[in-house]
Structure 1
């Protein structure tokens, strides 16, 4: 095994995946959301860099080829688990997350079954777009948690009548409730639609891999 810089970045990204969940165990919100967001975005950026550097420096290795998709899946699966676990369990988030998780497990099992012929299921451009869309959606959903909790902190001590008056414009918005609420709503809506788009791309790539694998799944005629 060659421990190249691209491989080191991949390993760091793999180790960072569980830290996204750990942030919510050791820090209060919204600080946990902030740390998870920064950690996730940083890991997503290294995903592009390690692939680019491996190709540019001709340092593509078997170790990197194996670990790169594992690190991507670990980041996505753990981040989705955290978002669903700390959200209101809205079905509009649970359904696309379920599609994504099911596909990742299914394709991983398919590759394991195919063994030496797993090279048939090479990563396609659509699969790369799928991963990009997943990571952007998750980052936006983490930012929704940030805005949501800053909104709650800003409204702390206000009764409902005061909050309503601020949103109605009859009381000065000294705490920035309106823009924080708008940012929360936009992040939640955009994040949800991006997650559905990611789920659609995820499903399409799963079907594509299944069709490519079908010739290897047929029993030989006796």
Structure 2
């Protein structure tokens, strides 16, 4: 397993995920709910920044690796799934939206794994649509975690819900996009033994 700064940042992101969840298990008399929201928001934002930064550094320093390419999306999916589960528990995200997003991530990850096994992974490489979907999620989640009014008039819950709905629509759209790209290979190799 290679070890460099980009991979260290990815591992840091994985380590931060339990903090986003765990802060809500602290007793309210230790940390009031508004402080829990703020702490979870800040931890999530730090984790999201490492997501951008590790990829930037890996490309800039030419430290990309197969392990990093595997670990980075796993960390992203764990981060989003963990935050969504917290938000569902806090009744800030609809169960169905969380199911759509988490279910899509599992389905497309499995599709990519299968496509890699048959040597066609480039067919389902990350698209700009997938990147926009991720950006919407990474914008919506901290707003929903923060769950308060900013500057006296910006309702982060309402704004976060709007971004999350857009993210859910893009999630479904991108899933069909990837399935359409993979469909010829699914038809050709789907029934063939490996």
TM-score for both structures, normalised by structure 2: 0.86
Q: Deviations over 1:36-87 (max 9, x none)?
A: 1110000001111111111111111111100111111111111011011012
Residue 142 (str. 1) matches residue 145 (str. 2): yes
Aligned to 1:67: 71
**1:131 maps to 2:134:** yes
Which residue matches 2:4? 4
Q: Distance in 2 between matches of 1:187 and 1:19?
A: 21
- Counterpart in the other structure of 2:85: 81
1-side partners of 2:27 and 2:61: how far apart? 39
Matches within 5 A, 1:88-127: 93-116=94-117, 117=119, 118-127=121-130
In structure 1, C-alpha distance between the alignment counterparts of 2:176 and 2:2, rounded to whole Å: 34
Question: Is 2:16 the partner of 1:16?
Answer: yes
After the TM superposition, which of the residue ranges 120-129 and 25-34 deviates more from structure 2? 25-34
CA–CA distance in structure 1, aligned partners of residues 142 and 56 of structure 2 = 22
Q: Specify which of 169, 173, 180 is matched with residue 204 of structure 1.
A: 173
- TM-score by structure 1 length? 0.76
Tell me: higher relative CO, structure 1 or 2? Use CA pairs within 8 A at least 6 residues apart.
1
The alignment partner of 1:58 has SS state of coil
Larger-gyration structure (1/2): 1
How big is the alpha-carbon RMSD for the aligned residues of Structure 1 and Structure 2?
Answer: 2.2
